[in-house]
Every structure is written in C-alpha cells, then in structure tokens.
Amino acid sequence: MTDKLTDYRCGCRPLPETYKLWPLYGAGFENLGRDGQPIEAPMPEYGPDQLLVRHDTNSLCFSDVKVIRAGQDHPRIFRDMEKEPVVLGHEVSMTVVGVGEDLKDQYSLGDRFIVQADIYVDGVNLAYGYMIQGAMSQYTVIDQRVLNGDHGNYLIPVQPETGYSETSLTEPWACVVTAYNLHYRDALKPGGTTWVIGAGGSDERQYTISDGFDESAHPARLLLTDVPADFASWLRERAESLGVEVVDVLDVASPPVDEIDDIILLGSDADLVEAASPRLAFLGIVAIAADGPFARKLNIDVGRIHYNRWLYIGGTGTDIARIYADVPARSELKPGGRAWFVGAGGPMGHMHVQRAIEMADGPSVVVCTDISELRLNDLCTAFSPDAEAKGIDFVCLNPLDKAAYDTGMARFKDEGFDDIVVMAPVPFVIADAATWLKPGGVMNVFAGVPRGTIAQLDLNDVCFRDARHIGHSGLTTEDMRTALGLVETGALSPNRLVSAIGSIDAAKDGWQAVADAVFPGKVVIYLHIKDLPLTPVTELADRLPSVHAKLRNGREWTEEAEEALLQEMLD
C-alpha cells in the first residue's frame, strides 16, 4: 500500500482550496453542471457542531435520473433550482476530513460513514442528494440536520477495511434485503380506524371478531356501512363497552375519514372493494370475508401496494380475526421453492437474483426474464456457475423471443411459482405475473410504479388460494445497518454489481448511461481519482491493465481492483 493511499484513508491529506461538484439547475441533462462539466467551488467552511466530509464514491441511482428529468417538479424538491441548484447522490461512501470543535469527542479524522438519505427535520423530508447537498460533490458539510434529525443521527459507521465501492452499494442492497423482511399486521390496528362494509353477506353467516376487538387491543373508531343487523348489534355493543367511537356511513364513496387502517368486506363485491380501497391508510389492510367468488378481476392500485404497503387478505370464514391470523403475508423466498424474477436484467434485478442464488436456504428453481438480450446474457453469464454449483435450476428467458419463451415457461404453467418478484413497472406485466402464483404464493411488486397505477388482479386467488401481493419502498436507518452488516461480514458481495467506473468528470455520462439502460449493473464514480472516462470494467485492460488484472474472472469488480485503481489514479 502506498503512502498516498494510506494518507487518503486516514483523512489527513492536505485539503485543496477548491473542489468539484455537479449542480443541477433545472430539468434536463442540459442543466447538469456548466457546459456539460462539473463546476469548481471554494472549499466549504464548517462550524463547531459540524463535520467536513469527503465523498469517496457514489453509485448512480435511477432515482437521480428522475430528478434530472423532472427538475423542481420532482416531489422531493421544493425550492427554486435555478437559484439553489440540487447536488444529487445518496448511494455514498464518505470519510471525515474535518471535525468541528464541539464534536471532537465524538468524531475523528478518517471516520467513515454511509448516510440514511431520508432525513427528516421537524417532520420535513430533507433528503440527502435532494434537499441536502449530495454525493456528487467531492466535499460537503454535515450539519445538525443530519447529526440530530427527527430520528437521531442519520450517519451509519463503516469499518475502516470495508471497500469504498461496496460501501456505496449498501444503500441499493438495503432496498433488496428489506424487501424480504416485510412485516404486516395480523390483527386490526389498535387505536386505528376500522370500516366494516356489508357486501352481500347475511346474518346466516354469524360474523364475529374473536380477537383484536377487546380490552387489550381495539380500534379507536369504527365505521359501519350496510352491516347485517346481528353483527352490527354485536359490534355496537362491543364498541360501547370499550369506548370506541361508532360512525354510520351511508355512502361508501364518502366516508368521514380520509385514511382508514382496516377495511372489512362481508361478501365478494368487486365494486365495493374498488370503491373503498382508495381510502386505505399507509400499511392499510383490506380483509375480505368472501361468501363466493368474485365475478371479475379487480382494478387494484399496485403503486400503493408498493409505496403504501397496502395488503389484501381474504378467506371464506366468518371470524374476521382468523382471516387476519391464519395466513400472514410471507415475504422471504420459500426454501426449495420456485422463484420468478420479472425484469431481472437491470441492476436491482441482478441483486435479487444474486441474493436468491447465494442465500443458504433459497429456492431450487430460479427463473429470470427480461426483454434486453444484452442484460439477460450478462445475468446468465454472471450467475450460471453459482447456480450450477448449488444445484439450482437456473432459467433465463426473453419474452420477445416468443417461441423460446413460451416453451421455457410451459413447464411452470400448471404448478406456478411460490414467489414472483416484479422489477418491471408495467401494469400489464404485473397483472400477467400474478396469474402464475401457486396457492400460498407471494408476488412482490418491487418496481417503483407510481401511485395510482392500476393493474387487474384476481382477488379470488387471495380469498381461496391464499395468494398475497406485497410491496416495499423506503429504508430506515436500521435497514441500512442490517445491509451494511451483511456486507462487512462477507454475507453479501455488492461489488459483483459494478458494471462501469469513472472519475467525477464522467458523472454526466454515467447518469446518461443509467437513463439509457446501457449497463446491466451499477455505475460507480470515484470522486478523487484522475480523469477517467466512463469505462466498463471489462474494458479496463488497455487503459488500466493493473486494475483489470485484479477483476474476478476478468469481469467482476473486487476490493483488490479498487485498491489498484486508487494506488494508480488518486489525484
């Protein structure tokens, strides 16, 4: 290891007078930087309760592209970008290079961190890389908004020996890891709002709620619409004894509450499900006590299954508590099961597939589909040896090659899949994928489909075959800690995802490549190396042969390759 690299890692190198950054002044790639280049600015000053940090690496996220395209119309941007440009970047590895006087007993030069980007101060989202200057700047000041926000300190310590690239990639990996650790309620929300709607059921069915509506746990408010007389009377008596407010709702289209935690349908009325569902709160549940099959598929907001974590459950029993408790939503892949990854060729798909193949007790069949032959071939090349070594039946298919696709999928049609993970934000694709679920199967709507995106789903699968449709968005600090722990213990290998690298000057080309889906994996920017154009790692042989020699199998980024890069290219 060179003295230059040692000094870099300890955070004690002399600081420059200026630094580079990429401001975004408005919507469009033409508003990124000045004349297509980063700008230079004086080194920022930091106060006694602040830190000066060096951004070492930043992996480029498609979320950045959304901001570039939308400008200040993006929902996370609420300022005049022409006057106060945004500096993007939240998948970051950072090092402390300056410590304010009041913080010297807590921080030291060389301390390394990642950041939980969803920073809240007084309830306002000031996300890193959106409202707070992000990682596509060589240096920045970390102030009390980050160190002492609504949820405490948003910085998460990193071990000194952890690689910079793999540290940056912890954030997207945390999204994947968390998607398999989702937890849903198995009872009515205590202190919440419950709405019971008669949907064709009668008193002959003798409805009840045997648990979750008693002294130990019960909603604070109960809405009733067309509930059969005997059950309505039972609910009113129970509510009165518990001090629960009861409200009669005459029109299902206009309940007096905007956000409802639990909607209970007594019967199988598709129109009522569609009319009531938009009132669901975050983490809301629709529980259907089915008295027969639905006559048609239902128009379901899959965007809110993803972003709001809505859940539809159902059964044929009359005890509502059993509908909640008997079949909780499984989020982990079924051991020894069949898993299908739809739209698997992109960076997030790579991570899902890598996890499925590398996990200790994973599926025995892994099917990957994508319409990009380039991405699909890369996926197959990357993971076929690993799958074969573990005895996993690994299948890659392109739906555009209809004959081969139909033949390859035919053997799964009768039994279907235990798990389907959808990375393609296309309503038709999501709806079609749901038809392949086995009884008890789970479809994870991982794709960031916008709220209000409607797909036709068959809720008979939910009520009679125990299928579930789940989704995930957003990370907590604990989610980030969990993923980082997996990286630092060697349980995850994020560097396998790196497709291309470059210096800070290559960032615009990197974002354009992300927008154009050029690479199957991630682009990682090293912010303090000499000028390096955006370069696929497989093409480093001519430009940086010492770095290329450290790749795994000539194609996968490694910590050794990173060290060789920094030894040769640190500016």
Cα 70–Cα 76–Cα 79 angle in degrees, nearest 5: 80
Q: Compute the distance between CA of residue 504 and CA of residue 528 in angstroms, rounded to an integer.
A: 7
- For the chain, 571 residues long, give each residue's pLDDT as a single digit of tens: 457 888 899 998 899 999 999 999 999 999 999 999 999 999 999 999 999 999 999 999 999 999 999 999 998 898 999 999 999 999 999 999 999 999 999 999 999 999 999 999 999 999 999 999 999 999 999 999 999 999 999 999 999 999 999 999 999 999 999 999 999 999 999 999 999 999 765 557 889 999 999 999 999 999 999 999 999 999 999 999 999 999 999 999 889 998 999 999 999 999 999 999 999 999 999 999 999 999 999 999 999 999 999 999 999 999 999 999 977 788 999 999 999 999 999 999 999 999 999 999 999 999 999 999 999 999 999 999 999 999 999 999 999 999 999 999 999 999 999 999 999 989 999 999 999 999 999 999 998 888 999 999 999 999 999 999 999 887 889 999 999 999 999 999 999 999 999 999 999 999 999 999 999 999 999 999 999 999 999 999 999 999 999 999 999 999 999 999 999 999 8
What superfamily in CATH does domain 3-179+478-569 come from?
Medium-chain alcohol dehydrogenases, catalytic domain (3.90.180.10)
Report the pLDDT value the prediction gives residue 202, as an integer from 0 to 100: 53
SS3 state of residue 445: strand
Dist. CA 102–CA 44, nearest whole Å: 18
Q: How far apart are CA 412 and CA 406, in angstroms?
A: 10
- How far apart (Å, rounded) are the C-alpha atoms in residues 552 and 9? 24
Residue with tokens 């809301």: 284
Give pLDDT, residue 287.
97
Alpha helix stretches (DSSP H) within 390-472: 402-410, 427-434, 460-465
Owner of token pair 């870099």: 8
The length of the chain in residues reads 571
- Selecting from 3.20.20.70, 2.60.120.430, 3.40.50.720, 3.30.70.141, what CATH number does the domain 193-326 have? 3.40.50.720
C-alpha triplet 294, 297, 299: angle, nearest 5°:
120
Copy the structure tokens of residue 138: 């060589």
Instruction: Report the distance separating Cα 384 and Cα 304, nearest Å.
Output: 35
Cβ-based neighbours of 194, under 8 Å, separated by 6 or more? 188, 219, 221, 222, 223, 260, 261, 262, 263, 264
What angle separates helix 3-10 from helix 559-569, to the nearest 10 degrees?
110
What is the pTM for the complete model shown? 0.93
Contacts of 84 (CB under 8 A, 6+ apart): none
At 52, is the secondary structure helix, strand, or coil?
Answer: strand
Q: Which secondary structure element, helix H or strand E, spans residue 166, and what is its range?
A: helix 164-168
Which segments of 117-242 does DSSP mark as H helices, in order? 144-147, 164-168, 170-179, 229-242
Amino acid at 332: E
Is residue 366 within 8 Å of residue 387, measured between CB atoms? Answer: yes
Query: C-alpha angle 422/427/430, rounded to 5°?
Result: 30
